[in-house]
Chains A and B, each alone.
Chain A
Amino acid sequence: MTRISCAAIAAALTALCGQMAGADTIKVGVIAPFSGPFATYGTQYRNAIEVYVAQHGNKAGEHEIEFVYKDSGGPNPDQVRSIAQELLIRDRVDYLAGFTFTPNALAVAPLIDQSETPTVIFNAATSSINKESKFFLRTSYTMWQVSEPLAQWAFDQGIKTVATTVSDYGPGIDAETAFRAAFEERGGKVVDAIRMPLSTTDFTPFLQRVRDEKPDAVFTFLPGGPPTFTYTKTYNENGLAQEGIRFLGTAETEEVNLQGLGEAAVGLTTAYHYSGAHDSETNRAFTAKLAEMFPGAVANWSSVGAYDGVDLIYHMVETSGSDGPAAIEAALGREWESPRGPLKLDPETRTVAQNVYIREVERDPASGQLVNREKGVIANVGDLGWTR
């Protein structure tokens, strides 16, 4: 279909929407996994959104905001595209949000371009997604954004040789490329780059190989859940820590499954943009409210991705209502304080520039729980993968 007729339909829909719903209710469609093995993401998003609404009310400026939740299951672009169509046409949402997996976000790019719908990505971390439509905004992070600072920090700590072990798929390869480029630019040496099959259940062979190579550290990227659990256990049980081979990671020690990793997690070093134990007023308010509303829930990076995403949506609604292009204009360059620290929506990459923290897993003496303790910070890092 030509651009003109699309725009016409979109305009007609928007006009219709304005008449039907009245100017004061703005709908936000949240597409996320609420079923299946990745349902934790959906739960985390939803909890965070409800906490935000409880803290800030359901009105942004003069507009009331309503959230419509839709289940995407796992990575499933076919389903996500049809859900997005339904949300845009039937539910007449003015904003889309969520998106845990890269293909799911990519699948809606042609749609949001036509309907001019601002779409806030809460998680998917491949840099190039935002190039597919100027209506994508991202409040999570990109692989490059956390991997590169980690490499620089490691080099500055005196780590000169590293073996990389990443899961053999898109995000893993991104992480490997980013870490390697930054580490070697500084003068470090990557002695071995192992790509581990996604279906790996026993990581012993890879870690035994790394152990025999005796690098200063091993950098890793794994999808969350079972692989991370097994990898960190194997790392410890095969004595890599005792040999002085340091663990360098990113999302591996995220808070939801952190307690499940047990003692094996203590001492793991990661570079990431959010720790549930971040010491700030905003974070304490957020985590306290979360614990109050949802007993047993823990905040992790997907929680703040959603929390900050909603904050951004409130800002857009307040300034621009349902006018998509104006909302994007209003969002670009915005600076605000998040539970993770200061944020700025970079006008060029449309991904937030943020602090990347170097953390180490410790057992908190007060609560007895494992926490990601911040040990260092690299301030205001943008999406370093944008121009790569």
Chain B
Amino acid sequence: MSTGDGMGLFLNILVDGAAYGMILFMIAVGLSVTMGLMRVVNLAHGGFALIGGTLAHWAGQDLGLAFPLALAVAMLGTLAIALPLERLVYRRIYGFGELQQVLATIGLTFLIIAAVNLWQGSALLPVPLPESFARPVDLGFRTLPLHRLVVIGSGLAVIAGLWLLLDRSRFGIRLRAAVDNRGTASALGIDTDRIYMVAFGLGALLAALGGILGAELLPIDAYYPLRYMVLFLIVVAVGGLGSIAGSFAAALGLGMIETAARYLAPDLATIAFFAIVILVLALRPQGLMGKVSA
């Protein structure tokens, strides 16, 4: 089927847009947890994705581990770095103003970049994926690499899991209580320090997972956190703070729009993308599904 005919073009945009949108969702969902739910302006989100990606590169390429094992090493390693950082840095800045949080997390990002740069250099750090991930899968009207289907599957699993965890479990209720009013939550016997630590660890884990699965499109290198910082922030802002579903909708929507622009008018794709971001945020300042708050 050719892009020349309308139906084929439409299907192409739909499929590629969904696949790209899912990758956007996977790389931004961790930020949606730390910044959206926990209300920390966490510019170091990309830093944790970078840690995950670098560890996966190291485990897969330098140690020669199989992908599932490398993935596990990378995620546990990221957690092992993120939790002490939560105690040392983040715990102190939860109560700070937004600008101080911006400064602190950007300082942390610089340190992470410098550390990865020192360890692995500034060239690309490819994450070895199973051979089968590159295999094209026949969708009937065209093919799609298996990798994209894996990402779509993971994205759906993550959003289902987060929904269960945050909307249907006691942890979710406690987290919301702790974020809304820390003092009261503590008085009610909720261990807010621990809740925050678990939530932050979850955000870091998701950042690492997103960094690794998204690395086919957003390859890992030392400057990853700065290169894609704006992209992560846009997904969360358009989706609306505090709403995982909003991030999901925003990622898919932005993915579709950008893909359509790339098919139809490549020259104008960047302008169209930012124009739409401006339009959405002008019309809905709280984002697509953000809670209205001061």
Contacts and interface: CB of A to CB of B under 8 A. Distances in A.
Given A205-B12, A230-B217, A257-B123, A36 B223 contact: yes
Interface in A224-248: 225-226, 229-230, 233, 236-239
Nearest to B16: A204
Contacts of B262: 196-197, 200, 202, 205-206
A226 B214 CA distance: 12
A374 B35 CA distance: 51
Contacts of A206: 262, 266
B2 A212 contact: yes
Interface residues of B, number: 43
B124 A208 contact: no
A209 to B, nearest CB: 5
B20 interface: yes
Interface string A193-229: 0111111111011101100110000000000011001
B213 to A, nearest CB: 14
Interface string A130-166: 0000000000000000000000000000000000000
A36 B126 CA distance: 19
Nearest to B230: A199
A40 B219 CA distance: 16
Interface stretch (B139-147, B189-197, B240-248, B280-288): B139-147
Most buried by A among B218, B266, B267: B266
A168 B143 contact: no
Interface string A247-269: 00000000011001110100000
Contacts of B121: 40
A233 B216 contact: yes
Contacts of B258: 202
B227 interface: yes
B152 interface: no
B169 interface: no
Interface in A252-309: 256-257, 260-262, 264
Nearest to B218: A201
A39 interface: yes
B155 to A, nearest CB: 15
A37 interface: yes
Interface of A: 36-37, 39-40, 168, 194-202, 204-206, 208-209, 212-213, 225-226, 229-230, 233, 236-239, 256-257, 260-262, 264
Q: Which 4 A-B pairs have the closest CB atoms?
A: A205-B262, A237-B145, A37-B223, A197-B270
Interface of B: 1-4, 8, 12-13, 16, 19-20, 23, 117, 121-126, 128, 134, 136, 142-143, 145, 147, 216-219, 221-223, 226-227, 231, 258-259, 262-263, 266-267, 269-270
8 contacts: A202-B258, A226-B124, A226-B218, A237-B145, A239-B136, A257-B123, A260-B124, A261-B126
